[in-house]
Structure 1
């Protein structure tokens, strides 16, 4: 039996975490003994972890990546606190000098780089170690494994990082897994020298599980809303384009479409900024942030249209879930969009702009037959893909 380690940050609600749960649910435990290393044992998905895995104990130093600087100082990890301060100062400086819209990715790189000397190694030796969420420094530098694999969940060509710093890390891995062909290609646009290492394994989906959860009774204000209901399930972050969504709804209201409401399930650092934007545009009754939900599927089911207004994606887990629930789907034309939706068949792709999102919604709002056809095509598509795991077994 092979010894396998999978490492990630925590089990907070998110697409990456849902894809990890699905993978673990369908894993081959007859041939693999799986240890899961979570830097912090927190998040609503903790209780969804299958009992066939071994959850390793928290290591205090690694929990700092999910703590504030104040908390780190309180825990007396002074060196790590200093590394966090330095990473923030340097990233902010680079952001201002180079006009980087989102320096957070670079800051995360620096956080790990500066903290590495103060992080302990894992003593156990593994046949294979899998790093599930970037940056992959823990598995790259602190794990002893015969083979190392890293996962790509986003479109790295759109993310501002230090390429040379990243390359040193990526070179430590034997294989790099992208969640779609488009995700692989966008990654290679930035890191072309790694072409021979990058493979595609799609996110594992669990259609029966999703359909069953969608029927759960939850407190859902959408059930009493007679308007045309849009839904987005996403982190409240720059990448997900929720600010675009607010402005797109305002455009529609200005055009006379008063009978549309937009619900967002999710949480994140941009919540206050978004609430201000909603209020400024007089959309408090129409654009509704529902917050964090362990089970987003009843909300998806209650909607008339699923919309993904993202600036970039690897392959959005939630779009696939909406398709499993036979919902018409509208996504922006981010670089990997074509790998997610067959435009006009199981979803629609609109221009990646505020006007483009508004126009896409308007078109589908007016075309009820078109929406029905998209939903019917999703209903007749088999989204079962557990066979994707065989590709991982071949690498491990």
Structure 2
């Protein structure tokens, strides 16, 4: 039996986190003993993990380091750990002065890593299940015969600096992309690693999603007299919720009766709430927060929209396809990997006006919706077999 370790910052709601949960739900535990290292033991997916997974959180100095700046400094001073104080201050300065959050996580890793001990257990395979810190952790802190990194986004659009990542990627046996487009982009950025870059699609289970979608919803009432729109996404700049809000403003100008629900949370919540208030959208554009089971909401919605500025391969879109929803997504670089424009959904230009026009087009043309749903029904959308690609990489570890 091989010892496998996955690493991810937390199990808060997110596409990569959901993809990992799905993967861990289908892995063969008669062949693999699995540890999951999380930086912080929290997240709505924690209690959904299979019982065979051993969850390990980082403790000790990292617990102190991860506190707010003032609390972290005071706690470290009380312990006489001046070195940790120094690195905590540098960590804060780098994150506050960097204009790019992805690059900030890269350049501040050196300071963060000083609070994390090396793990002595030897693994056959260690997998950084998310770009940046998870991969850096696998390389710097774990003893493993084989190392794998997982990239869930379009690298060129992510804001990450390849000059930093190349030092880590060269120490991996494999680098996994979630779509062919993401693989092509990685190979463009890291041509010397071309042969080590593989594609493994996010694992989704149609039978499980269909089953979970039957759960009753008690916190909102879907009104048959108006259009219900749904988006499941982190409230962050790259997910384009502000673009969806602009589309809502346009829809109101057109006199369309609708409610647009957003499932998710994130750093842009305060900005979005302010803009919702400024435009009197409180009753129309509604932030529902995190939902452990979003599928009943997707099932009952009339239209599903993903307004992202960039994606790797969105697991939320795959799930909406399984539930046969008419889908509109924005024209980010990897959009065509999931939606065949005009066949199983619409790829809209990346602005509120275009999205609003496409929404109205669907509302006024139910035949288009019927055709999209029929085409989705005929697609083979289950990807459980992708786990065998990962097994092949496991077996290549020495």
Give the TM-score, by structure 1 length: 0.93
Deviation at 1:74, TM superposition (A): 5.3
Q: Does 1:122 align with 2:119?
A: yes
Question: Partners of 1:293 and 1:314 in 2: how far apart?
Answer: 22
Q: Which of 346, 359, 362 matches 1:361?
A: 359
Deviation per CA, 1:306-361: give whole Å up to 9, x if none. Answer: 00000000011111111111111110010011111122222211112222222222
Query: What corresponds to 2:49 in structure 1?
Result: 49
Deviation at 1:5, TM superposition (A): 0.7
Deviation at 1:225, TM superposition (A): 6.1
Q: Which of 92, 103, 106 matches 1:106?
A: 103
Q: Does 1:384 align with 2:382?
A: yes
Q: Does 1:72 align with 2:72?
A: yes
Q: How many residues align?
A: 388
Q: Check conservation: 2:150, 2:175, Cα contact below 8 A.
A: yes
Q: Does 1:142 align with 2:141?
A: yes
Give the direction of change, closer, same or farther, for the CA distance of 1:105–1:80 in structure 2 (3 Å limit): farther
Q: Check conservation: 2:152, 2:312, Cα contact below 8 A.
A: yes
Deviation per CA, 1:122-168: give whole Å up to 9, x if none. Answer: 10111110110121111011111110000011111112233211111
Query: What corresponds to 2:39 in structure 1?
Result: 39
Question: Partners of 1:366 and 1:208 in 2: how far apart?
Answer: 32
User: RMSD over aligned Cα, in angstroms?
Assistant: 1.9
Query: What corresponds to 2:334 in structure 1?
Result: 336
Deviation at 1:248, TM superposition (A): 1.1
Unaligned runs of 5+ in 2: none
Q: Which of 313, 323, 331 matches 1:325?
A: 323
Question: Partners of 1:256 and 1:267 in 2: how far apart?
Answer: 29
Q: Check conservation: 2:7, 2:128, Cα contact below 8 A.
A: yes
Q: Check conservation: 2:87, 2:114, Cα contact below 8 A.
A: no
Tell me, what secondary structure is at the counterpart of 2:333? coil
Q: Check conservation: 1:121, 1:142, Cα contact below 8 A.
A: yes
Deviation at 1:220, TM superposition (A): 3.6
Q: Does 1:25 align with 2:25?
A: yes
Q: Which moved more, 1:109-118 or 1:319-328?
A: 109-118
Q: Which of 291, 309, 312 matches 2:310?
A: 312
Deviation per CA, 1:235-266: give whole Å up to 9, x if none. Answer: 10001000010011111221332x12211011
Give the direction of change, closer, same or farther, for the CA distance of 1:71–1:364 in structure 2 (3 Å limit): farther
Q: Check conservation: 1:80, 1:115, Cα contact below 8 A.
A: no
Q: Does 1:271 align with 2:269?
A: yes
Unaligned runs of 5+ in 1: 96-102
Deviation at 1:194, TM superposition (A): 2.3
Query: What corresponds to 1:83 in structure 2?
Result: 87
Tell me, what secondary structure is at the counterpart of 1:218? coil
Tell me, what secondary structure is at the counterpart of 2:381? coil
Q: Which of 272, 283, 287 matches 2:281?
A: 283
Deviation per CA, 1:259-279: give whole Å up to 9, x if none. Answer: 122110111111110011111
Deviation at 1:221, TM superposition (A): 1.5
Give the TM-score, by structure 2 length: 0.92
Question: Partners of 2:148 and 2:223 in 1: how far apart?
Answer: 47
Q: Check conservation: 2:62, 2:115, Cα contact below 8 A.
A: no
Query: What corresponds to 1:100 in structure 2?
Result: none
Deviation at 1:63, TM superposition (A): 4.7
